Amino acid sequence: MARWEPDARQRLERAAIELFTEQGFAATTVPEITARAGLTTRTFFRHFADKREVLFAEDRATEAAYRLMGEAPPDADPLTLIVAGLRALAAERFEPRRDDLRARRAIIRSDEGLRERELRKRGALHDVVRAAFIDRGLAPATAALLAEIGATLLYVSLEEWLDRDDARPLADLILDTLGELRAVLTVSPAPADR
């Protein structure tokens, strides 16, 4: 629509994260967010259903993931596909926003309802990746396993990246986590009780 729309969305996100951090999620109102951003309430509701959804706008990542997987060559190795997809996601959507993502994490941890919403988001992403692998012809159990691997690589690496202070990019931490996952699973023999 209007040329300033993408900027409005970002300004609203930034203002909301600032206010949630300063005064708490529950205490912050939509009019306060729009006042901080210098925009109208009407503009706010053109972008977000409510103040909570400002923190979960990345749910469009779910659509993006599904689309990306549909576009990949049919014979692409599933793990390569997951790792390449996550590294692209990391570079494009996460790495430019490290401070905001840290603030977002602290806000979500502070509120039970937000923690539940975050779990639902992770569940939705898992379901989409699983469905996309089933569409690619994999057995449901294998598709579920790959979706779990994807979630593990993303969320373990993301936590680590937000905890760290060095310059190592998230995309590289994803490869580190993959290496550690392989090491943990291969060092041990099959359990002795069998």
Residues interacting with a copy of itself, by CB under 8 A?
A: 77-80, 83-84, 87, 115-116, 119-120, 122-123, 140-142, 144-146, 148-149, 151-152, 155-156, 159-160, 163, 175, 177-178, 180-182, 184-188, 190-194
Q: Which is nearer to a copy of itself, 44 or 161 (CB)?
A: 161
Residue whose CB is less far from a copy of itself, 58 or 176: 176
Tokens of 145: 């396993």
- For residue 42 the two structure tokens come to 């009407």
- Taking alpha carbons only, the member of 35, 14, 32, 11 closest to residue 23 is 32
119 within 8 A of 37, measured Cβ to Cβ: no
In whole angstroms, give the CA distance from residue 152 to residue 180. 12
Side chain identity, residue 145: L
Q: Which residues are CB-contacts of 47 (< 8 A; sequence separation ≥ 6)?
A: 8, 9, 12, 57
In the complex, what is the shortest distance from the CB of residue 38 to a copy of itself, in angstroms, rounded to a whole number?
36
Of 163 and 165, the one with the shorter C-beta distance to a copy of itself is 163
The values of phi and psi at residue 23, to 5°, are: -125, 5
110: three-class secondary structure by DSSP? coil
Residue whose token pair is 């006042």 = 35
**What's the min distance (Å) between Cβ of 85 and a copy of itself?**
10
Compare residues 67 and 122 and give the one whose CB is closer to a copy of itself: 122
Smallest gap from residue 4 Cβ to a copy of itself (A): 35
**What is the closest distance, in whole angstroms, from the C-beta atom of residue 61 to a copy of itself in the complex?**
18
What does each C-alpha distance from 108 to 9, 14, 40, 183 come to in angstroms?
Answer: 20, 15, 25, 32
Task: Compare residues 16 and 114 and give the one whose CB is closer to a copy of itself.
Answer: 114
CB of 64 to a copy of itself, least distance (A): 18
